[in-house]
């Protein structure tokens, strides 16, 4: 069981006793008894190996995947939110998928403008200008007329980010921004997300609450403020980097140091990768 | 089994089938089919109701964007198919009207021309042929597009953006197909009637254009126009709902898209034929 985080501010995301299921397999459970609070301005990194269930946890956090059990809240309101009257609350949260998940029939520019065109009744010129600013900030302008099928994977991820930022969310969930990208793109992502956490001019300088998933902890050392690990169906809140450095749990050490522990090589199923109960020791 | 006189049953696989207790296995087979049919009817029915609910409750939501999508779907399921339908109209006229006029003249029953034309082309063949062609050209594309969108996570992406996938993906297709099938049926009937007269003219049938169109007009009633509109709109709606249901309503993997397409075509076909049968009853009762 994971320990809830302590914060004075009212949590923007709160999970109590949540069981997270898998999106593509109704019988699989990826995490049990998740207790987690995200305060405004937090910058969380959730680390875990591929297949640990990070994406499913993020989908549950975003309200796209109902929890199997427990209580999941966004700004105090129970998730998932599908009703029209509560939609405004849900739009305060943005989600960037691992592969960008762009609509294949639309160009990059059309994908990015889609949320504005659906939710905001703005003049065409105003939408065009907003899209141009966003594409410039994410260096996507040369790709604006391309369809997703002709776009390299790292740029698809960026287009997904640009689309999610169009409604200026207060919380941004980013699934695996560093997965499958080269050093240049990884550096851009770290810098851009760090700037979002501090307050980016794109969003009027307002700091964004960030939750990011990753296969490794080390790249986030100088950027993220809170860390957690998902392994063996257990979600373990570690807290700040200092606490993470003190941890002797094999899973945490492996993700921190970027190398597999001996026990994992002998146990490909990952059962022994499970962190000990409670927070990091 | 050795000497039953059925040479076909000498094949090993068929021999096994023959050995199976027929009453039990066929009952199971039919039972399974019946249950699958009922489940499909339930699923498609529920999906149709959800679509209708979204259509009504979100009528004014994102009007600019959704109206653009509706126009695109009308173009796809209607306007772009027009050249093909002009060809089909010419062929239908030649095949049905030309032949009918020719034979009625030979037996001296040209007075029944209008009745036969209205019964065959306006009430039956026009709407059904249009529906089948739209199903083949646009319905299949619908399933592939939506199935791929489902398999690649586009539906989750829409939900993450607070966009109702039914509102964005299904509603424009339902409206577009309903309008498309209706419009194309009208063009098909008009084209078939015109090309039919040309065929009769080529065959030296003693029939003036005035007589020909007077016969047709005399056989048509107000009910024909009303039921033609209703039937074609229903055909378009059914094809759209079934194809969207198969592509969108259940989790799909990429490799399942082709089988979903085949299922959608078969189910749409059966649904259209059943609806056509219902309209025959209405015509018989009302006529």
Mean of the per-residue pLDDT values for chain B? 85
Does the pLDDT of residue B204 top 70, yes or no? yes
DSSP E strand boundaries for A67-169: 69-74, 77-78, 93-96
| Candidates A110, A113, A118, A119, partner chain B, best to mutate (most B CBs within 10 A) | A118
Identify the pLDDT of residue B272. Answer: 94
Q: How confident is the model at residue B19 (pLDDT cuts 50, 70, 90)?
A: low
Tokens of A21: 């299921």
| Cα Rg of chain A, angstroms | 19
A122: contact with B, CB 8 A cutoff = no
Number of helices (H) and strands (E), helices first, in chain A? 9, 10
Tell me how close the Cα of A270 comes to any Cα of chain B, in angstroms. Answer: 26
Q: How confident is the model at residue A275 (pLDDT cuts 50, 70, 90)?
A: very low
Tokens of A59: 């989908």
Give the count of domains, chain A. Answer: 1
Tell me how close the Cα of B256 comes to any Cα of chain A, in angstroms. Answer: 14
Please name the residue of chain A whose CA is at the shortest distance from the CA of residue B63: A118
Q: Look at the block and give the residue holding tokens 């998940």.
A: A101
Tell me how close the Cα of A124 comes to any Cα of chain B, in angstroms. Answer: 10
A174: contact with B, CB 8 A cutoff = no
Among the partner residues B154, B162, B251, nearest to A104 by beta-carbon distance? B154
Among the partner residues A103, A118, A167, nearest to B62 by beta-carbon distance? A118
Which chain B residues are within 8 Å of A121, Cβ to Cβ? 64
Q: Look at the block and give the residue holding tokens 């993470």.
A: A244
A276: contact with B, CB 8 A cutoff = no
Tell me how close the Cα of A204 comes to any Cα of chain B, in angstroms. Answer: 21
Helix, strand and coil content of chain A, in percent to the nearest 5, comes to: 35, 20, 40
Which chain A residues are within 8 Å of B152, Cβ to Cβ? 99, 101, 104
Report the relative pairing of strands A226-231 and A234-239 from DSSP bridges: antiparallel
d(CA A216, CA A257): 8
Tell me the residue range of the domain where A251 lies. 1-92+178-185+213-281
Least reliable range by pLDDT among A70-84, A185-199, A209-223, B266-280: A70-84
Asked whether residue A1 is domain-assigned, the answer is yes
Please give the residue that has the higher pLDDT: either B237 or A258: B237
Terminal alpha carbon distance of chain B: 55
Q: What is the DSSP string of B204-242?
A: T-S--HHHHHHHHHHH--HHHHHHHHHHHHHHHHHHHHH
Average pLDDT over residues B215-238: 90
Identify the pLDDT of residue A187. Answer: 93
Of all residues in chain A, the percent with pLDDT exceeding 70 is 89
Query: Could you give the ipTM of this predicted complex?
Result: 0.84
| Candidates B61, B66, B155, B162, partner chain A, best to mutate (most A CBs within 10 A) | B162
Q: Which residues contact B8 (CB under 8 A, 6 or more apart)?
A: B14
Among the partner residues B57, B154, B162, nearest to A90 by beta-carbon distance? B162
Asked whether residue A165 is domain-assigned, the answer is no
pLDDT tens per residue, range A229-273:
998 888 989 888 888 788 777 777 777 777 665 544 444 444 445
Residues of B in CB contact (< 8 Å) with A are 57-58, 62, 64-65, 145, 148-149, 152-154, 156-163, 168, 251
Please name the residue of chain B whose CA is at the shortest distance from the CA of residue A60: B160
- Phi then psi for residue A95, to 5 deg, are -130, 130
B232 closest CA partner among B178, B268, B269, B166: B178
Tokens of A279: 């927070």
Task: Answer for the pair A75, A89: CB distance below 8 angstroms, yes or no.
Answer: yes
Does the pLDDT of residue B5 top 60, yes or no? no
Asked whether residue A277 is domain-assigned, the answer is yes
pLDDT tens per residue, range B35-68:
788 888 888 999 999 999 999 999 888 888 999 9
Please name the residue of chain A whose CA is at the shortest distance from the CA of residue B157: A101
Please name every residue paired with A29 in a beta bridge, in sequence order, or none if there are none.
A21
Asked whether residue A239 is domain-assigned, the answer is yes
Identify the pLDDT of residue B75. Answer: 94
d(CA B123, CA B225): 9
Q: What is the DSSP string of B250-263?
A: S---GGGHHHHHHH
d(CA B274, CA B268): 10
- Phi then psi for residue A180, to 5 deg, are 70, 20
pTM across the whole model: 0.83
Identify the pLDDT of residue A97. Answer: 94
Asked whether residue A262 is domain-assigned, the answer is yes
Among the partner residues B58, B145, B156, nearest to A64 by beta-carbon distance? B156
Instruction: Say yes or no for a CB contact (<8 Å) between B157 and A103.
Output: yes
Among the partner residues A24, A91, A117, nearest to B162 by beta-carbon distance? A91
Please name the residue of chain B whose CA is at the shortest distance from the CA of residue A90: B162
Residue A79 Rama label (left phi>0; alpha psi -120 to 50; beta)? beta
pLDDT tens per residue, range A74-130:
998 888 777 777 888 899 999 999 988 999 999 999 999 999 999 988 888 999 999
A84: contact with B, CB 8 A cutoff = yes
Task: Answer for the pair B253, B152: CB distance below 8 angstroms, yes or no.
Answer: no
Question: What is the domain-level CATH number for residue A88?
Answer: 3.40.50.300
Does the pLDDT of residue B268 top 90, yes or no? yes
Asked whether residue A157 is domain-assigned, the answer is no
Among the partner residues A23, A64, A84, nearest to B160 by beta-carbon distance? A64
Asked whether residue A148 is domain-assigned, the answer is no
Identify the pLDDT of residue A152. Answer: 92
Q: How confident is the model at residue B28 (pLDDT cuts 50, 70, 90)?
A: confident
Identify the pLDDT of residue B9. Answer: 40
Which chain A residues are within 8 Å of B158, Cβ to Cβ? 103
pLDDT tens per residue, range B175-190:
999 999 999 999 999 9
| Candidates A58, A95, A101, A159, partner chain B, best to mutate (most B CBs within 10 A) | A101
Asked whether residue A63 is domain-assigned, the answer is yes
Task: Answer for the pair A212, A225: CB distance below 8 angstroms, yes or no.
Answer: no
Identify the pLDDT of residue A239. Answer: 85
- Domains of chain B, by residue range, sit at 62-286
Among the partner residues B148, B160, B168, nearest to A95 by beta-carbon distance? B160
Average pLDDT over residues A62-84: 87
Average pLDDT over residues A23-33: 84
């Amino acid at each position: 069981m994971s320990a809830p985080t302590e914060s004075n501010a009212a949590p923007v995301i709160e999970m109590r006793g949540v069981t997270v299921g898998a999106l593509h397999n109704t019988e699989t459970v990826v995490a049990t008894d998740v207790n987690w609070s995200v305060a405004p301005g937090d910058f969380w990194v959730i680390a875990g190996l591929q297949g640990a269930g990070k994406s499913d946890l993020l989908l549950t956090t975003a309200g796209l995947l109902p929890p199997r059990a427990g209580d999941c809240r966004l700004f105090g309101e129970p998730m998932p939110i599908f009703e029209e009257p509560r939609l405004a609350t849900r739009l305060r949260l943005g989600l960037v998928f691992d592969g960008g998940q762009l609509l294949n029939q639309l160009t990059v520019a059309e994908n990015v403008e889609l949320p504005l065109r659906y939710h905001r009744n703005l003049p065409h010129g105003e939408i065009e200008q907003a899209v141009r600013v966003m594409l410039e900030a994410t260096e996507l302008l040369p790709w604006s007329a391309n369809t997703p099928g002709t776009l390299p994977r790292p740029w698809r991820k960026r287009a997904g980010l640009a689309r999610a930022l169009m409604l200026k969310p207060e919380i941004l969930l980013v699934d695996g921004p560093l997965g499958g990208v080269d050093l240049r793109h990884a550096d851009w992502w770290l810098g851009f997300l760090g700037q979002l956490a501090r307050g980016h001019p794109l969003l009027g300088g307002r700091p964004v609450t960030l939750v990011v998933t990753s296969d490794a902890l080390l790249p986030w050392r100088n950027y993220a403020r809170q860390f957690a690990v998902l392994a063996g169906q257990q979600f373990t809140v570690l807290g700040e980097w200092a606490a993470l450095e003190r941890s002797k749990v094999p899973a945490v050490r492996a993700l921190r140091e970027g190398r597999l522990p001996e026990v994992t090589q002998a146990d490909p199923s990952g059962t022994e990768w499970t962190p000990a109960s409670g927070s990091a020791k | 089994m050795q000497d039953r006189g059925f040479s076909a049953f000498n094949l090993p696989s068929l021999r096994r089938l023959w050995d199976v207790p027929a009453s039990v296995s066929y009952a199971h087979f039919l039972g399974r089919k019946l249950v699958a049919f009922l489940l499909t009817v339930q699923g498609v029915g529920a999906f149709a109701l959800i679509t209708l609910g979204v259509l009504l409750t979100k009528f004014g939501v994102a009007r600019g964007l959704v109206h653009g999508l509706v126009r695109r779907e009308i173009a796809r399921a209607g306007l772009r198919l027009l050249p093909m339908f002009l060809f089909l109209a010419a062929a239908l006229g030649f095949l049905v009207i030309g032949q009918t006029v020719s034979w009625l003249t030979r037996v001296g029953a040209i007075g029944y021309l209008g009745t036969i034309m209205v019964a065959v082309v306006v009430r039956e063949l026009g709407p059904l042929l249009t529906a089948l062609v739209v199903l083949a050209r646009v319905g299949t594309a619908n399933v592939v597009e939506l199935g791929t969108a489902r398999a690649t996570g586009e539906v989750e992406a829409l939900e993450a953006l607070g966009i109702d996938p039914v509102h964005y993906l299904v509603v424009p297709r339902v409206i577009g197909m309903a309008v498309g099938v209706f419009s194309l049926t009208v063009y098909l009937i008009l084209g078939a009637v015109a090309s039919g007269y040309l065929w009769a003219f080529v065959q030296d049938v003693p029939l003036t254009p005035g007589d020909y169109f007077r016969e047709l007009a005399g056989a048509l009633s107000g009910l024909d126009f009303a039921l033609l509109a209703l039937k074609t709109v229903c055909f378009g709606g059914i094809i759209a709902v079934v194809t969207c249901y198969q592509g969108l309503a259940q989790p799909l993997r990429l490799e399942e898209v082709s089988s979903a397409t085949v299922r959608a075509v078969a189910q749409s076909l059966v649904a259209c034929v059943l609806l056509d049968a219902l309209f025959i009853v209405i015509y018989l009762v009302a006529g």
